[in-house]
């Protein structure tokens, strides 16, 4: 790889890292070509991009924004074969990896960057998969907000029928 190609790849990675609030560093080195294709397909379905990178180039790309984004702790994870999973949803890669690993041993999680927090090691996979996505949290909040409103509305409806029933009963007594 020439110096120009390396520079181009570093710039591409800088852009990817800066535009992504969530990414995972994984090791999928022992997977066969067929297994990697299967994994890429599963990731693609969830809108996750997998990019195999050279550690030195990834580190240089991360160093460009290390201070403002807090990438420095990730440098230790850049050893051995590395594939970066870029995503818009924090928990999606962890869920896909868990699903894929029901049949395969890899990929393993080296580290994950989730909105300035860094998670290290494969043992963090369950915690990452359990994270709620923004859409799930918004849905839960809407459900919680609707619950008291529904209770008030149903109470008003039932109360209204009770009042009208009382009025009709009083009216009939008066006749």
Tell me the pLDDT tens digit for each residue of 48-106.
Answer: 999 999 999 999 999 887 778 888 889 999 999 999 999 998 899 999 999 999 999 88
CA distances from 130 to 19, 77, 92, 126 (A): 24, 22, 10, 6
47 Cβ contact partners less than 8 Å away, ≥ 6 residues apart: 87, 88, 89, 92
**pLDDT (tens digit, 9 = 90+) per residue, 15-41?**
998 888 899 999 988 899 999 999 999
What residues does each domain of the chain span?
Answer: 3-131, 134-175
Q: What is the largest CA-CA distance in the chain?
A: 102
The pTM for the full model equals 0.74
Domain 3-131: which CATH number of 3.40.1710.10, 3.30.70.1730, 1.10.357.10, 3.30.450.20: 3.30.70.1730
């Amino acid at each position: 790889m020439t110096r120009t190609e390396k520079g181009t790849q570093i710039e591409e990675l800088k852009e990817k890292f800066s535009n992504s609030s969530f990414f995972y560093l994984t090791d999928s080195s022992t997977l066969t070509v067929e297994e990697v294709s299967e994994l890429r397909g599963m990731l693609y379905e969830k809108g996750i991009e997998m990019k195999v990178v050279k550690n030195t180039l990834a580190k240089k790309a991360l160093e460009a924004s290390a201070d403002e984004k807090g990438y420095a702790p990730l440098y230790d994870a850049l050893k051995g074969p590395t594939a970066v999973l870029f995503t818009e949803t924090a928990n999606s890669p962890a869920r896909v990896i868990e699903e894929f690993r029901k049949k395969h041993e890899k990929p393993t999680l080296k580290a994950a960057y989730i909105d300035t927090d860094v998670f290290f090691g494969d043992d963090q996979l369950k915690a990452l998969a359990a994270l709620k996505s923004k859409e799930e949290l918004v849905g839960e909040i809407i459900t919680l907000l609707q619950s008291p409103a529904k209770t008030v509305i149903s109470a008003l409806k039932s109360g209204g029928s009770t009042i009208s029933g009382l009025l009709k009963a009083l009216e009939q007594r008066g006749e």
